[in-house]
Amino acid sequence: AKVCAKIHQEGIPVWLRAFHEVNWYQRTGEYSGGPKEFKEAWDVLAKAVRQFAPGVWMHWSPNIAHNNNTSEYHEYQPYRFEETVDLVGIDYYPSSKPAPNHFVDSFKYFHDTFASERRKMVIAETGLHYYASLQDKLDWLDQIAKGKSALPHLVGVVWYNQKKGWDDKIAGKGISNLLEAQL
């Protein structure tokens, strides 16, 4: 919290996205504990941020619900939600070519339940988790852009831009291609 405060004091907005994709990493066993432990950890961190860095925004960003089980969001909803969550979001990567309107269909419940005029929504990570063509990526971006009218509290989207098992870049020969050539 104190480090975030120093950054914020330099005039740089800070959105603290702690415990990202907590529901995903607990499913895979990479985070220990469960919803109760997450909520307790979030609460401790939020209290410190509110005390030492009151201008820092807390960004709650679970992974998309497994098999559309939206109760999962509620299980991981932080204690004192109204007081401790400034931004909401989901991380989501379609694993095959998304059908038309898939973006809105995937995000609408979460948006309508947790985002508000005061608490905006920022998609913390998205991209396509398959060997997508440039056109597939542009189609997904088009769905995101057109989805704004159905998701009025959506104010931002972060495209995950890394080369892992496939190339997440939207287009071009970026740094991941240059690094790969050096190896």
Q: Which of 17, 30, 108, 13 is nearest to 64 (CA)?
A: 108
Count of CA atoms in the C-beta half-sphere (13 A) of 74: 6
Percent of the chain topping pLDDT 90 = 59
- Arithmetic mean of pLDDT over the chain: 86
Sort strands 154-159 and 120-126 into parallel, antiparallel or unpaired.
parallel
Asked if 115 and 81 count as a contact pair (C-beta separation under 8 A), the reply is no
Superfamily for domain range 2-182: Glycosidases (3.20.20.80)
- pLDDT surpasses 60 at 8: yes
**Amino acid 25: pLDDT:** 58
Q: Which of 117, 119, 57, 66 is nearest to 91 (CA)?
A: 66
Q: At what angle do helices 134-147 and 102-114 cross, to 10 degrees?
A: 40
- Beta-carbon count within 10 A of 106 CB: 20
> What are 34-93's pLDDT values in tens digits?
889 889 999 999 999 999 999 999 999 998 877 778 888 899 999 999 999 999 999 888
Residue boundaries of the structural domains of the chain: 2-182
- pLDDT band of residue 182 (cuts 50, 70, 90) is very low
**Amino acid 19: pLDDT:** 84
- pLDDT surpasses 60 at 175: no
**Amino acid 63: pLDDT:** 86
- pLDDT band of residue 27 (cuts 50, 70, 90) is low
Distance, in Å, from the CA atom of 183 to the CA atom of 63, rounded to the nearest integer, reads 32
